[in-house]
């Protein structure tokens, strides 16, 4: 997402409250969700121009694919949020639960079918792909955490002088609306660890090894509570 008004680039890692962040900016600009295209939040029919949903551009793709020039990209405040990779994969599985596949089968099928254009694949690739360049250098000014989202979003809001105190937790996608329509009562969530046996835990841990190293997550749900990229303390 690009907001020229706020001189900001938000790199939307799927399943990490991205639409909630985007809705804040749309609201500040007086735009509805249906009017989101000017913020580079639209469908893309051309694989040469990025993924199916431009909301899920990698940081490096914003300049590489011509959505912003290098001067503005360097000048704008660039941020993202990440979450525990084991938990994020479970969230994606539950989001696509209509497929009725066992979790282990879902994991292996998704890991085996990664491509650059598919939005499904953008939901599966490592979060570090969104944030780091090909040399392993961070391209963003700040990376917060889903686990401390309220605190970390306030830092972003203060930095950009948004005048917003809280972040609404919303998903306005068609699937989100359908799930609410057909679910009579909220489904009680079980701990993400219960989806895994030891083999699958290690398989997913290896696939997301760079995320675990960069962001300091553990399977028990703990994480290094220290800045990932940028502290925004000043």
**Residue 137 placed within a domain:** yes
**Residue 22 placed within a domain:** yes
**Residue 223 placed within a domain:** no
The string of pLDDT tens digits covering residues 4-63 is: 999 999 999 999 999 999 999 999 999 999 999 999 999 999 999 999 999 999 999 999
Determine the structural domain holding residue 106 and report its residue range. Answer: 2-215
**Residue 220 placed within a domain:** no
Helices (H), 1-148: 18-28, 59-64, 70-75, 85-95, 103-111, 119-122, 128-131
**Residue 222 placed within a domain:** no
**Residue 177 placed within a domain:** yes
Distance CA 146, CA 126 (A): 15
Task: Output the pLDDT for position 176.
Answer: 47
| Count of structural domains within the chain | 1
The string of pLDDT tens digits covering residues 102-143 is: 999 999 999 999 988 899 999 999 999 999 999 999 999 999
Task: Output the pLDDT for position 170.
Answer: 66
**Residue 200 placed within a domain:** yes
Strand partners, 167: none
Distance CA 223, CA 212 (A): 9
Find the helix or strand (DSSP H, E) in which 7 lies. none
Buried b (16+ CB within 10 A) or exposed e, 80-90: bbbbbbbbbbb
Distance CA 161, CA 179 (A): 35
Task: Output the pLDDT for position 99.
Answer: 64
Global pTM value: 0.90
**Residue 120 placed within a domain:** yes
- Segment 138-152 shows an average pLDDT of 96
**pLDDT: is 56 or 225 the higher one?**
56
């Amino acid at each position: 997402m690009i907001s020229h008004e706020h001189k900001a680039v938000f790199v939307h890692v799927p399943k990490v409250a991205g639409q909630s962040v985007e809705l804040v900016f749309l609201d500040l600009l007086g735009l509805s969700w249906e009017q989101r295209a000017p913020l580079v939040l639209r469908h893309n029919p051309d694989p040469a121009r990025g993924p199916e949903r431009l909301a899920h551009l990698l940081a490096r793709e914003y300049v590489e694919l011509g959505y912003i020039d290098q001067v503005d990209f360097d000048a704008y405040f660039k941020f993202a949020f990440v979450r525990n990779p084991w938990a994020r994969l479970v969230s994606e599985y539950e989001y696509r639960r209509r497929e009725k596949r066992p979790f282990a089968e879902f994991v292996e099928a998704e890991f085996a079918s990664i491509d650059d254009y598919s939005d499904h694949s953008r939901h599966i690739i490592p979060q570090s792909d969104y944030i780091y360049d090909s040399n392993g250098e961070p391209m963003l000014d700040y990376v917060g955490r889903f686990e401390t989202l309220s605190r970390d979003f306030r830092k972003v809001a203060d930095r950009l002088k948004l005048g917003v105190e809280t972040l609404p937790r919303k998903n306005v996608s068609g699937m989100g609306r359908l799930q609410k329509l057909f679910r009579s009562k909220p489904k009680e969530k079980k701990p993400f660890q219960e989806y895994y046996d030891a083999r699958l835990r290690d398989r997913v841990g290896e696939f997301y090894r760079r995320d675990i190293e960069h962001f300091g997550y553990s399977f028990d749900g703990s994480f290094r509570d220290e800045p990932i990229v940028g502290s925004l303390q000043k």
